[in-house]
Amino acid sequence: MGSLFRSEEMTLAQLFLQSEAAYACVSELGELGLVQFRDLNPDVNAFQRKFVNEVRRCDEMERKLRFLEKEIRKAGIPIVDTGENPDAPPPREMIDLEATFEKLENEMKEVNTNQEALKRNFLELTELKHILRKTQSFFEEAEFHHQMQDPALAEESHALLLGDEERGGQPMRLGFVAGVINRERLPTFERMLWRACRGNVFLRQTEIETPLEDPVTGDQVHKCVFIIFFQGDQLKTRVKKICEGFRATLYPCPETPAERREMAIGVMTRIEDLQTVLNQTQDHRHRVLVSAAKNIRVWFIKARKIKAIYHTLNLFNLDVTQKCLIAECWCPVADLERIQLALRRGTEHSGSSVPSILNRMTTKQAPPTYHKTNKFTSGFQALVDSYGVASYCEVNPAPFTIITFPFLFAVMFGDAGHGLIMALFALWMVWREKQLMNQRKDDGIWSIFFGGRYIILLMGAFSIYTGFIYNDFFSKSLNIFGSSWHMANISDDDIKNNELLELDPNVTAIYKPASPYPFGIDPIWNLAENKITFLNSFKMKMSVTLGVIQMSFGVCLSLSNYRFFKDPLSMFSVFIPQLMFLMCIFGYMVIIIFFKWIAYDASISYKAPSLLITMINMFLFKFPDSQDDYMYSGQKGLQIFLVLVAVACVPCMLFIKPYFEWRAHKSGKRTVRFGTVQMQVNGASEDTAVIMDQDEGEMPPPPPEGAPAHKEEEEFDIGEILIHQAIHTIEFCLGCISHTASYLRLWALSLAHAQLSEVLWSMVLHIGLGFKGWVGAVVTILVFPAFAVLTVAILLVMEGLSAFLHALRLHWVEFQSKFYKGEGHQFVPFSFEALMEDHN
Amino acid sequence: MFVICGPKLSICGFIISIWAIIMMGLMGVFFLIKSPLLLEDIGPATDDDWKDRKKIDAIFQQSAYNCWVVAGVYAFLGLFSYFQMRMNSRQQYVVT
């Protein structure tokens, strides 16, 4: 059965693959993506497996590719994505690929080291050029000062140092060093120099205006040229040490201007030469990367596919003769044909003459759960799966969720205007599906919205519907069919003198009961003072009604489970009492809700009893004295009967099932009834899997002697079963009450949404419209964007999220608790497609 | 033409403008037919105004015109955003 109602029928199968054909077969299966392989050597660690070497080689290839990709991205070359999906290459091609990657990587590395060396050289030369240029000005300045002050200084020094022969009247011999330092290090460098040399050095610096490129990281760095003057060798060593410590690069700087000029010319020519060499290297590198960028995606896919295949082959068992590989896998029964076909294709590809064999096996293990979904249903299936993956072949709530989830959401989100915006947004996403799918996959929030586009579309569509029912359109009502309330019998004086007017539905001129508003709530209520009181009563009753319907539907779905798993005992001892209990209390409540709506019209509404009091009194067996206060004749008897039935259901749920189990255990034939259940519970006897006959005519052969060991493990403990049953019963009975109350959140949230949108209207748009004359238009122009943004941010996103979460809760807790176990594990097929998606 | 808005801002402006044109246009119609629901939203009216039906009608009409003025202004803004959007997308073509 290829439907969403139950998961696909799965089978364990054994594959015998010729060792030559194994690679091609697994490759075909990977393209197909319908087979989940089991690890047959779980005890062997990753390093001892057969194809470790191949996997390691693939890792190496991937590493090289990643390196290349990084280089390509750094160079800003676009990577071509042709959307091509090559098959996994045959194993012999792997060597070619390896060689190609090896060559490319080496070339890249060589070019990189060359380039780095060249760049370092270039950097040094540029720095030197700057030093020569900047220091020139320092020296010129010094020269100038020298000329200005020299005569006086010389005289003075002559006068002072006349007797001092050693100095010989010469000016002090100043040494200097010049270098380049990072601009941000300069202040500390300066301070350090000052402190370490006690102010005996003189530092001049200027900034280099153009940023220089760091050869290792490729970043742009700002640097400064400095020159330090000092006296004596001791200071020289100290200064040099400090320069070293601050990573300043020092350059030799000739002392005379002529030498400096000569050096500058030399440096300039060398820079020019270097520049041409650098450009050529750059070009070469770019060419290599561009050609690599064309293929890199395809290479990545190939390398990953090869790796995945060898990884899968590592899961297989080797036959004794080493001639064939044995694999075990889960696969859907419906697709066995396609798998066989893929195997045959794989065998042909490899040129092997011996066909691959696929055998079905029986097992005690629980098969994985596999739902075939499409792009529409997958979103809803994900909602269910995030609560718990369905047990194998259990009823899947997803097909019902498709309708009930957007519907319950819309009950809370009932506003046609907001629904329209939401639906349009989703429609756009659905419309541009293909383009959007290719763009921006990485964005987290976006991908959540995009993944749920069909859910949002339905939520929006249903919100439009409930919006019309509530007659809410941005919190305003639409009077489409004409209100059925009329302002008859009310004079102009009444209108002028009264704040409020009362419309009595009993006056036929005002309200005609025969012609009510045809669809949804009458728009007149939007003007009424008692609007909320009226709507609350309607929405609360509606919520409870919807809740009881959904819960009883859930209980009915459990019947389908019991029938499928051939469990008639639960059918009679659990399903029927549960349904009776629910119907006797809450089903009856729903019926009297409708009865009250129908039986009491405006003229006798003052006599209508409160439903809440009626329900409470029903359980207290308190009944009114006069016949007039009953809703219908025979109410007393029926209510007593219903309460008694509901109470009687509780012991039925508690004791019948344990009793029958206990009796069956005594007579020793309990296996038949629990066969399916055991199959799911037991996971201990993995190795007892037995090959089933290829042609499915006969029953599978009985398990070997060693198999039934697990039966002794399950001791029959009546106490435990009783406790289990008691917990379930109490959970259900209390759950019915609390869950019914929980459905009132439908009312609460829809009230909150309606009020919030009304507040937004009156706080924002109302202000704009309320100004006198043309000022109103100007203010409205300014206010409208605020209204739009707040509507989207608060009412659509925030309120939508809260309604979404509450709808989700109603499904997970209130609905699914009635029938859904969710104890299965997901079917994860070996598929290249999924693999590639993971990497993107 | 020159580009003032970025791609996101222009799309945002375009969508809000379309919304405003439709909504304000319709609200103008509703004001014009004197929908009682919008009674609270009309311009300010003194107690004397409320006594005279004609004055209230005039305020209703003024509100309707206001709404259409808003719709008209947003039509201009929408056109502007649309051209900005075009310019932005053209620029993108040039770059890549």
For residue range A210-254, what is the model confidence (pLDDT) as tens digits? 888 877 777 888 888 888 888 888 888 888 888 888 888 888 878
- In this model, does residue A694 exceed pLDDT 50? no
Q: Does A770 touch chain B (CB under 8 A)?
A: yes
Quick one: pLDDT at residue A629?
A: 81
Name the band, by pLDDT with cuts 50, 70 and 90, for residue A661. Answer: confident
Name the band, by pLDDT with cuts 50, 70 and 90, for residue A672. Answer: very low
Q: Does B41 touch chain A (CB under 8 A)?
A: yes
State the Cα–Cα distance between residues A31 and A830, nearest whole angstrom: 9
State the Cα–Cα distance between residues A780 and A512, nearest whole angstrom: 40
Share of chain A above pLDDT 90, in %: 38
A558-590 pLDDT, tens digit each: 999 999 999 889 999 999 999 999 999 999 999
Nearest CB to A527: which of B37, B67, B69?
B37
What's the rounded mean pLDDT across residues A141-154? 57
What letter does residue A806 receive in the DSSP assignment? H
Higher pLDDT pick, A703 / B80? B80
Quick one: pLDDT at residue A43?
A: 84
- In this model, does residue A827 exceed pLDDT 70? yes
Q: Residue B58 falls within a domain, yes or no? A: yes
Q: Residue B2 falls within a domain, yes or no? A: no
DSSP string for A511-545: B-TTS--SSSS-GGGGT-TTHHHHHHHHHHHHHHH
Q: Residue B1 falls within a domain, yes or no? A: no
State the Cα–Cα distance between residues B11 and B19, nearest whole angstrom: 12
- 3 state SS of A196: helix
Quick one: pLDDT at residue A840?
A: 64
Quick one: pLDDT at residue A361?
A: 87
Task: Kindly state the tokens that stand for A57.
Answer: 């080689």
A330-352 pLDDT, tens digit each: 999 988 999 999 999 888 888 88
Nearest CB to A477: which of B16, B37, B74?
B37
Nearest CA in chain A to B48: A496
Q: What's the Cα-to-Cα distance from A481 to each of A522, A531, A717, rounded to whole Å?
A: 9, 20, 67
Nearest CB to A777: which of B42, B51, B66?
B66
Considering only the top CATH level, what class is A130-157+172-271?
A: alpha beta
Nearest CA in chain A to B41: A766
Name the band, by pLDDT with cuts 50, 70 and 90, for residue A440. Answer: low
Please tell me the least confidently modeled range out of A77-81, A337-341, A362-366, A650-654: A77-81
The domain limits of chain A are 130-157+172-271, 565-679
Quick one: pLDDT at residue A711?
A: 46
What's the rounded mean pLDDT across residues A511-515? 80
Quick one: pLDDT at residue B93?
A: 59
Do A785 and B24 lie within an 8 Å CB cutoff? Answer: no
A721-738 pLDDT, tens digit each: 899 999 999 999 999 999
Nearest CB to A523: which of B37, B67, B70?
B37
Nearest CA in chain B to A763: B41
Higher pLDDT pick, A818 / A204? A818
Q: Residue B72 falls within a domain, yes or no? A: yes
Q: Does A777 touch chain B (CB under 8 A)?
A: yes
Chain B residue numbers with beta carbons less than 8 Å from the beta carbon of A527 are 36-37
- In this model, does residue A591 exceed pLDDT 80? yes
State the Cα–Cα distance between residues A389 and A249, nearest whole angstrom: 65
CA A596 to chain B, closest CA, distance in angstroms equals 31
Name the band, by pLDDT with cuts 50, 70 and 90, for residue A772. Answer: confident
Higher pLDDT pick, A709 / A301? A301
Q: Number of folded domains in chain B?
A: 1
Name the band, by pLDDT with cuts 50, 70 and 90, for residue A441. Answer: low
Name the band, by pLDDT with cuts 50, 70 and 90, for residue A627. Answer: confident
What's the rounded mean pLDDT across residues A393-416? 94
State the Cα–Cα distance between residues A794 and A773, nearest whole angstrom: 31
Do A777 and B16 lie within an 8 Å CB cutoff? Answer: no
Cβ atoms of A328 and A13 closer than 8 Å: yes
Cβ atoms of A462 and A407 closer than 8 Å: yes
Chain A residue numbers with beta carbons less than 8 Å from the beta carbon of B44 are 770-772
Q: Does B52 touch chain A (CB under 8 A)?
A: no
CA A459 to chain B, closest CA, distance in angstroms equals 20
- In this model, does residue A63 exceed pLDDT 70? yes
State the Cα–Cα distance between residues A230 and A175, nearest whole angstrom: 5
Task: Kindly state the tokens that stand for A782.
Answer: 């300014």
Q: Does B36 touch chain A (CB under 8 A)?
A: yes
DSSP string for A564-576: HTT-HHHIIIIIH
Q: Does B18 touch chain A (CB under 8 A)?
A: no
CA A367 to chain B, closest CA, distance in angstroms equals 49
Q: Does A198 touch chain B (CB under 8 A)?
A: no
Q: Does A446 touch chain B (CB under 8 A)?
A: no
Share of chain A above pLDDT 70, in %: 90
Q: Residue B74 falls within a domain, yes or no? A: yes
Tell me the residue range of the domain where B14 lies: 7-95
Nearest CA in chain B to A771: B43
Q: Is A772 exposed, middle or buried (0-12, 13-18, 19+ CB in 10 A)?
A: exposed
Q: Does B63 touch chain A (CB under 8 A)?
A: yes
Quick one: pLDDT at residue A501?
A: 83
Nearest CA in chain B to A782: B70
What's the rounded mean pLDDT across residues A550-558? 95
Quick one: pLDDT at residue A704?
A: 44
Q: What is the mean pLDDT of chain A?
A: 84
Name the band, by pLDDT with cuts 50, 70 and 90, for residue A680. Answer: very low
Quick one: pLDDT at residue B94?
A: 55
Name the band, by pLDDT with cuts 50, 70 and 90, for residue A92. Answer: confident
Q: Does A759 touch chain B (CB under 8 A)?
A: no
Alpha-carbon dihedral B82, B86, B87, B93, rounded to 10 degrees:
160
Do B41 and A785 lie within an 8 Å CB cutoff? Answer: no
A516-531 pLDDT, tens digit each: 898 999 998 988 889 9
Q: Which residues of chain B have pLDDT under 70?
A: 1, 92-96
What's the rounded mean pLDDT across residues A739-761? 95
Residues contacting residue A601 through CB under 8 Å, at least 6 positions apart: A513
Chain A residue numbers with beta carbons less than 8 Å from the beta carbon of B56 are none
Q: Does B75 touch chain A (CB under 8 A)?
A: no
CA A762 to chain B, closest CA, distance in angstroms equals 8
Chain A stretch 514-543, residues whose beta carbon is closer than 8 A to a beta carbon of chain B: 523, 526-527
Nearest CA in chain A to B76: A781
Q: Does A776 touch chain B (CB under 8 A)?
A: yes
CA A78 to chain B, closest CA, distance in angstroms equals 10
- In this model, does residue A131 exceed pLDDT 60? yes
Q: Does A424 touch chain B (CB under 8 A)?
A: no
Quick one: pLDDT at residue A156?
A: 46
Do A784 and B63 lie within an 8 Å CB cutoff? Answer: no
The residue to which tokens 């005890």 are assigned: A43
Nearest CB to A784: which of B20, B63, B65?
B20
* Spatial strand order in the sheet of A202-207: A202-207, A223-230, A175-182, A249-251
Q: Residue B70 falls within a domain, yes or no? A: yes
- 3 state SS of A415: coil
Do A477 and B41 lie within an 8 Å CB cutoff? Answer: no
- In this model, does residue A686 exceed pLDDT 60? no
Name the band, by pLDDT with cuts 50, 70 and 90, for residue A389. Answer: very high
ipTM surpasses 0.95: no
Highest-scoring range by mean pLDDT, A269-273, A540-544, A598-602: A540-544
